[in-house]
Amino acid sequence: MSQVQHHSITPNAWPAIATAALRVAFGVIWAVGAALTWSPDFAVHYVGYLHNAAQGQPGWLAGWFQLWIGLVTPHAVLFTWLTRIVESVIALALLTGFARKTLYVVGVLFSLLVWSTAEGFGGPYTVGATNMGTAISYVLIFVALIGIDSRGGHNPYSVDYFIEKRWPGWCRFAEWGRHKVIEREPERLPWGVQIPAMLAVLVLVIFLIGGLHSTLHVKAASPVSAAAAVSPLSLASSTPDAKPRDARLPPLIGTGDSVDVHLEASDHTVSIANGVNYQAWTFGGTVPGPIIHVRQGQTVNVTFTNHGTMQHSIDFHAAITPPSLHYIEVQPGKSIKFSFVANVPGAFLYHCGTPPVLLHIANGMYGVIVVDPATPLPPAADSYVLVQSEWYTQQVSGHLMGPNFERMSEERPDEVVFNGSAFQYRDHPLIAEAGKRVRLYVVDAGPDLWSSFHVIGAIFDKVYTDADTAHAQSGVSTYSVGPGAGAIFDLVIPEPGKYPFVDHDMAHASLGAIGVLEVRGTDGAPPPEPEAVAPEPTPAAPAKDMAAESAALGPYHFDATKGAALYGANCAACHQPTGQGLPGAFPPLKGNAAVLDANPAKHIEVVLNGLHGENVGGVTYATPMPPFKDSLNDAEIADVINHERTSWGNQGKQITAGEVKALRTK
């Protein structure tokens, strides 16, 4: 008998529960949208949303958008509040089931007449985005609710139902069917069905709230945002490029009273990291452009030819000359000739000065002109030119990058480099000889960032900062060079060794602004490699018995809160709170094979004993990881490992303190 009743109730009860579930879920979505309208940014940019939406719309919709812009602009505050109130009321009514018939009609009209101002009547359609347009989607859901509700009669899962029991006339606002007085309780689904349905709605609410952060901060899926998310250093190969740029100062162009300089602008693909290329605008096909080396007092006869696809120009920081005559725009296929006297010695930038200058320089149009003083500087055994600059990129395809003007404007570089390519002089050091003078001509092409130039393990013998060599500074360890500026650095290093040179802004160094000066002995032999030396014995504090500590805690149970705290205190600085690691320094733990391996032995051994020089995913990480066997007991190590195995999407098998103890003892 009960089985017959169950089957007789369910078919008639389903429309009510289905429309209620859809309505509540839809109400949660509206509630999130309504909450966002109460943010200050929504009010500040309300008119801007309409102007932004009007761009790129078809001509037949132009009048529609202009109507709304003209209507809203003088009354932005009023429309902001109307939008907030209407969205909040619709959200509350959907959640509670209030005035459903009226609500659904208002929802359709509101979606079409108001939200369509920000989208047109469809879209936005774009590769990578799956939505067909919020306005149309919402209209279809409201229509679906109308269709389901019109067949379901009185809905016991709504506020309307309780109002109708007291005031039957309320049906005119709430029901689509005939307005009947509620004479008996409508059929309901058993609690065994209602409770899972409620839990499903609760899960939906949790996911929507959890996704609110990404709603506010993650860029919409599109080819542009996807391309901008790829860093050239994330694509770089662990195998160094075979040939770095030659950094040696070339000889003087000529020794007469005048010299001829021919520069050509052209579009070329250049290397910016190991295996990563960039679509650049160049002088002479390289970034930086050719090094021009002249003597103070010489007349420099410049011929500049534009073989590029757009206007370009040239600006010499070493010249005193009318820019209105000589630094003018040169059309593709055209040339300009002018002369200037190199009266001022030093290391100077030359660059394209065509607006936007930021884009032209950041896209590779810069180089160096070195003007030797009439009274020569002390002779140097080796002289190098280092041009520091930044790359701001987005992915074009594969390992090919192109410019990202938004990053340029915000000064958020993907790479900071010497002579155009990240880490090239770390992989291929510059050579010098112990006890002999080495001269570095350092120019900061920018276009945005200062350089704090430093050679680790050395002090500059002289720093020439201007045209008067009498102003040279001595005993300087670090010297700042601003964008567009240059300085000359002299070093005399007595002992062979490898001396890194860096931009001491360490964020810049980590993005590629680091190289090595390899100082060899007088016989030309490479510097010796370091030897391990046994430390002097010192009285040590009694070592903690970590196994005993763990045993005293009793049976092991994974404490997720403690695991997260231990990870934050001991691991997060290197491997990052997100488990992503640091490129080239510390490997990622998210998706790491050892972390996901069902056999935890490797994972436990690394945490216990540390690691150095491991190849992870094709990248060798030279930065050592310290051992934790003497600072964490078995239970603590197990908590850390289990945190790593269950965080950031990892689904590794959890371990026990006993497994740690077994490997510690072994």
Residue 533 lies in a domain: no
- Percent of the chain predicted with pLDDT > 70: 83
- Same domain? 193 vs 314: no
Residue 306 lies in a domain: yes
The range of the structural domain enclosing residue 610 comes to 560-665
* Per-residue pLDDT at 66: 83
Flag whether pLDDT at 255 surpasses 70.
yes
User: Is 351 known to sit in a ligand binding site?
Assistant: yes
pLDDT tens across 542-576, in order?
A: 556 665 666 666 789 898 889 888 888 889 888 88
pLDDT tens across 156-201, in order?
A: 778 888 888 888 888 888 787 655 555 556 666 667 766 776 677 6
Q: What is the CATH number of the domain that holds 604?
A: 1.10.760.10
Mean pLDDT of the residues in the chain: 85
Flag whether pLDDT at 500 surpasses 80.
yes
546-547-549 Cα angle (round to 5): 60
Flag whether pLDDT at 597 surpasses 60.
yes
- Same domain? 171 vs 303: no
- Quote the number of domains for the chain: 3
- 3-state secondary structure string across 355-368: CCHHHHHHCCCEEE
- Same domain? 437 vs 317: yes
User: Is 317 known to sit in a ligand binding site?
Assistant: yes
* Per-residue pLDDT at 7: 43
- Same domain? 327 vs 387: yes
pLDDT tens across 612-631, in order?
A: 777 776 677 767 888 988 88
Residue 527 lies in a domain: no
User: Is 360 known to sit in a ligand binding site?
Assistant: yes
Helix, strand, coil tally for the chain in percent (to 5)? 40, 20, 40
- Same domain? 161 vs 51: yes
pLDDT tens across 385-408, in order?
A: 999 999 999 998 889 999 999 999
* Per-residue pLDDT at 127: 47
Flag whether pLDDT at 145 surpasses 80.
yes
Q: With contact defined as beta carbons under 8 Å apart, do 618 and 587 qualify?
A: no
The interaxial angle of helices 634-646 and 560-570, nearest 10 deg, is 90
Q: Among 14-18, 478-482, 486-490, whose mean pLDDT is lowest?
A: 14-18
Confidence label for 414 from pLDDT (cuts 50, 70 and 90): very high
**Could you write out the DSSP letters of every residue in 297-338?**
T-EEEEEEEE-SSS-B--EETT--S-HHHHS--B-TT-EEEE
Residue 400 lies in a domain: yes
Residue 554 lies in a domain: no
Residue 552 lies in a domain: no
What's the token pair of residue 399? 């390992």
Q: Among 1-5, 47-51, 259-263, 571-575, whose mean pLDDT is lowest?
A: 1-5
209-213-218 Cα angle (round to 5): 130
User: Is 643 known to sit in a ligand binding site?
Assistant: no
pLDDT tens across 221-246, in order?
A: 556 666 666 789 888 888 898 899 99
Most confident of 271-275, 533-537, 628-632: 271-275
Q: Among 182-186, 400-404, 429-433, 633-637, whose mean pLDDT is lowest?
A: 182-186
- Same domain? 421 vs 570: no
User: Is 365 known to sit in a ligand binding site?
Assistant: yes
Residue 38, SS3 per DSSP: coil
- Same domain? 484 vs 589: no
Residue 198 lies in a domain: yes
- Same domain? 144 vs 273: no
What's the token pair of residue 470? 């009498």
pLDDT tens across 447-465, in order?
A: 999 999 999 999 999 999 9
* Per-residue pLDDT at 48: 77
- Same domain? 193 vs 326: no
Flag whether pLDDT at 9 surpasses 50.
no
* Per-residue pLDDT at 2: 40
Confidence label for 4 from pLDDT (cuts 50, 70 and 90): very low
Query: Residue 207: CB partners within 8 Å, gap ≥ 6?
Result: none
Flag whether pLDDT at 209 surpasses 70.
no
* Per-residue pLDDT at 120: 57
Query: Residue 108: CB partners within 8 Å, gap ≥ 6?
Result: 139, 142, 143
* Per-residue pLDDT at 550: 60
- Same domain? 438 vs 358: yes
- Same domain? 165 vs 264: no
| More confident: 64 or 608 | 608
Most confident of 39-43, 256-260, 614-618: 256-260
Residue 491 lies in a domain: yes
Q: What is the CATH number of the domain that holds 463?
A: 2.60.40.420
Query: How far is residue 437's CA from residue 546's CA, in Å, rounded to a whole number?
Result: 55
pLDDT tens across 508-521, in order?
A: 999 999 999 999 99
- Same domain? 274 vs 380: yes
Flag whether pLDDT at 505 surpasses 60.
yes
* Per-residue pLDDT at 178: 58
pLDDT tens across 83-118, in order?
A: 899 999 999 999 998 988 899 999 888 887 776 676
